[in-house]
Amino acid sequence: MSQAPGAQPNPPSVYHERQRLELCAVHALNNVLQQQLFSQEAADEICKRPLSQLALPQVLGLILNLPSPVSLGLLSLPLRRRHWVALRQVDGVYYNLDSKLRAPEALGNEDGVRAFLAAALAQGLCEVLLVVTKEVEEKGCWLRTD
């Protein structure tokens, strides 16, 4: 069946979630998957569940995006900004390398960094990026399978 001259073909049905709150990661996942598969709660649970499964020796470092309070001197403002923080293991000790700290803060061993991550995730609105080598990424060995 041919279309009349000048007629536009029907556009494909494209799933598109619009921005709501600060849920852009959830919206991006659902938009790529072309259906609503993830909610904020589901995404939060996924972030918390792999925490114990992270193969930390395979991870070069972690970068966290955290809520950061805004203040003017002693006055705390009801505004929230975002701040990026680096975590890295050096000589068997994990450190918080937050650029706002005067010096690196030792977190201890794997249990210490896991506790730090759990506390950061419990605050809500925390994103964690893993920095791994290309080989680790290709093998997917940043997660333990046991």
**Residues labelled catalytic:** 24, 83
| Strand, coil or helix: 28 | helix
Angle subtended at Cα 97 by Cα 130 and Cα 26, rounded to the nearest 5 degrees: 35
CB atoms near residue 64 (< 10 Å): 19
List C-alpha distances in Å: 129 to 1, 7, 48, 132, 142.
51, 47, 13, 10, 12
